[in-house]
Chains A and B, each alone.
Chain A
Amino acid sequence: MLNKIRDYCRDLLESKKVEGILAVYTENGNYFPYFFTKKEELNNLCIDKKYLLLNSVKPLRENLVFLLQSKMPGKRIGILARGCDERALFELSKRGQVNLDNIETIGYSCNEEQAKICTCPTPYPTVNLKFGEKVEGVSEHKRWKEFSQLDIEGKRKFWEKEFSKCIKCFGCRNACPICFCKECLMEDRKFVKGGELPVEIPSFHFVQRYHHAAQCISCGECEIACPMDIPLRLISFVLLNRVKKLYDYTPGMNPKQECPIYTIKEERNEEALDELL
């Protein structure tokens, strides 16, 4: 697959269809995101190591793709996208964070091993899959069995312990492509006391989980960034499942479908929801 992708990218660059291609670069065993503009560089292009390309650059809090777009307005940018890159792209475009028009998405699928690392239910781009085959994703969090057996007090104790490990690095938020708020509630000193460890439980961790109830694109970056292995996405899985059941909505699947929590389009008959209250 690698060679095919390189050839394809070479064509894109040679034919000047795109200004450059955002992908992962490897050198001396290390790898990092890179904007390829010369075809000779494509020998260093790598597809087996993941860095989310749609990264929300901290501390700026702008998306990398947005920054690239604003540096070269009107120019076309290629993105060698995995499933999560595509999903992030769609969710961000709904919120005006990137402009889909000038993006050439070159989609490719991940393997099962990668899906395990990310705990990813959809390890491929659903719309722009160009290279590779769809493989089965992971639809259950690795600690779900243990967690789901707990009663309510057990769950509280579970989090009391897990959240006490938190060192307030903000990694979970910094690594998240969907976290781009200029004023983040996790930094609101009235809501979460500043300068204290352990952090206030549960407000600090509540924020991101709740905000992304219907936005989380299941890229796994928050848990990968967590030095303390806190299983934050146990909560996300519950919420995403609920949103899927109620509104048939999964973030990142369709760039046209609006987020049901924040946009109430039609006043549809939703009395059924009262049952859940």
Chain B
Amino acid sequence: MSKSEFEPRIVALLCNWCTYTGADLAGTARMKYPPNVRTLRVMCSGRVDPAFVIFALQNGADGVMIGGCHIGDCHYAKGNYSSRRRAVILKDTLESLGIDPRRFRLEWISASEGDKFAEVIKKFTKELKELGPNPLNKGAQDA
């Protein structure tokens, strides 16, 4: 598969109170963003166990994104603080394991920031295209 025709698969784990709605907005407002993303709703970015990220990467995702409320806006007060602390460590873990840390992102996107969501996905897709298929994905290895 040449890099140009490679369409990365993105799994986005989105907080119910903000980014998920933001993504919805991006959709209903017909903002243009690449169709590479599968969204999953979680109740808080703090709910995302880093194991989910590994699971997605191991089972076919080329990139994973967590979307949460801006710092200070978390419905559960501190959820996004801990998700941020964890994300930093997760990036290091990924890197040590030989998985490019750019395959994982944490973004703060509020319910009204549909445009930001579209923008982030665009950027992420572009970056993943440059990175190429995720080597952890068994199918990608055979290709």
A–B touch (CB < 8 A): the answer is yes
Residues of A within 8 A of B (CB): 150, 152-160, 185, 191, 200-203, 206-207, 209-210, 213-214, 234-235, 238-239, 242-243, 246, 260-262, 264, 267, 270-271, 273-274, 276-277
Is B95's CB under 8 angstroms from A152's CB?
Answer: yes
Q: Which residues 26-79 of B have a CB within 8 angstroms of A? A: 50-51, 54-55, 58, 71-72, 77-78
Contacting residue for B88 out of A159, A191, A209, A276, CB 8 A: A276
Main secondary structure of the interface of B (DSSP, over half): helix
Q: Given the complex, which residues of B lie within 8 Å of A207, measured CB to CB?
A: 51
- Report the minimum CB–CB distance from B3 to chain A (whole Å): 15
Q: Which residue on A lies nearest to B85, using beta carbons? A: A261
Q: Can you list the 7 inter-chain pairs with the closest CB atoms, starting with the nearest? A: A156-B98, A155-B98, A235-B96, A264-B81, A264-B78, A213-B89, A276-B88
Q: Which residue on A lies nearest to B82, using beta carbons? A: A264
B25 within 8 A of A: no
- Report the minimum CB–CB distance from B102 to chain A (whole Å): 10
Q: Which residue on B lies nearest to A207, using beta carbons? A: B51
Say yes or no: A277-B98 contact (C-beta < 8 A), given A200-B58, A213-B89, A239-B92.
Answer: no
Q: Which residue on A lies nearest to B66, using beta carbons? A: A277
Residues of B within 8 A of A (CB): 50-51, 54-55, 58, 71-72, 77-78, 81-82, 84-93, 95-100, 105-106, 135-136
A274 to B90, CA, bound (A): 13
- Report the minimum CB–CB distance from A186 to chain B (whole Å): 10
Say yes or no: A260-B85 contact (C-beta < 8 A), given A155-B97, A202-B58.
Answer: yes
Say yes or no: A274-B84 contact (C-beta < 8 A), given A203-B58, A239-B92, A242-B92.
Answer: yes
A239 to B95, CA, bound (A): 11
A239 to B100, CA, bound (A): 16
Q: Given the complex, which residues of B lie within 8 Å of A158, measured CB to CB?
A: 98
- Report the minimum CB–CB distance from A183 to chain B (whole Å): 13
Instruction: Please name 14 pairs of A and B residues whose Cβ atoms are closer than 8 Å in the assembled complex, sorted by A.
Output: A152-B100, A153-B135, A156-B99, A159-B97, A202-B99, A206-B54, A206-B97, A207-B51, A210-B93, A242-B88, A261-B86, A270-B84, A271-B71, A277-B106
Is B135's CB under 8 angstroms from A239's CB?
Answer: no
Excluding A157-B98, A242-B88, A267-B77, 12 further A-B contacts by CB distance (< 8 Å) are: A185-B51, A203-B54, A210-B93, A238-B92, A260-B85, A261-B86, A261-B89, A264-B78, A276-B91, A277-B87, A277-B88, A277-B105
Is B135's CB under 8 angstroms from A156's CB?
Answer: yes
Is B55's CB under 8 angstroms from A191's CB?
Answer: yes
